[in-house]
Chains A and B, each alone.
Chain A
Amino acid sequence: METSTVIRMHPNLCVSDAHASYSIISESIRGFSSIKLSIPHDATVDLSFLQIIEAARLRANEQGKSLSLLEPASGELRRVLDRSGLMTAATISDRSFWLHEETTQ
Chain B
Amino acid sequence: MNIGKIALAGNPNVGKSTVFNALTGMKQHTGNWSGKTVGTAEGKLRRKGKEITLVDLPGTCSLITDSREEEITRDFLCFEKFSGAVIVCDACCLERNLIFALQAAQLVPNVILCINMMDDAEKRGIEIDIKALSEETGLPAIGISAANCEGLEELSDMIFELAEGKLKADFVPVRYPKAIEHAADILLPVLREKYGFPGVYPALRLLENERGFVSEFENRFGIISGEEDLSTALSEAETVLAESGFSADLPGKIASCSAFRAEEICLSAVNFSKGKQRERDAKIDSVLTGKISGVPIMLILFGFIFWLTVSGANYPSALLSALFERVGEVFERLLLSVGAPSVLRSFLLDGIWNVLSWVVSVMLPPMAIFFPLFTFLEDIGYLPRVAFNLDKGFKSAGTCGKQALTMCMGIGCGAVGVTGARIIDSPRERLIAIITNSFVPCNGRLPAIIALTAMFFTGSSVLGSAILTMAVVFSVLMSLLVSKILSATVLKGVPAAFSIELPPYRMPKIGKIIVRSVFDRTLKILFRAVVVAVPAGAVIWLCSNISFGGETVLRLFADFLDPFARVFGLDGNVLSGFILSLPANEIALPIMAMGYSGGGLAELGSLSETAALFSANGFSKTTALCTIIFFLFHWPCATTIITVWKETKSIKWTALSVAVPLLTGLSLCFIINIVAKLLMP
The judgment on whether A and B are partners is no
- Residues of A participating in the B interface, judged by any CB pair closer than 8 Å: none
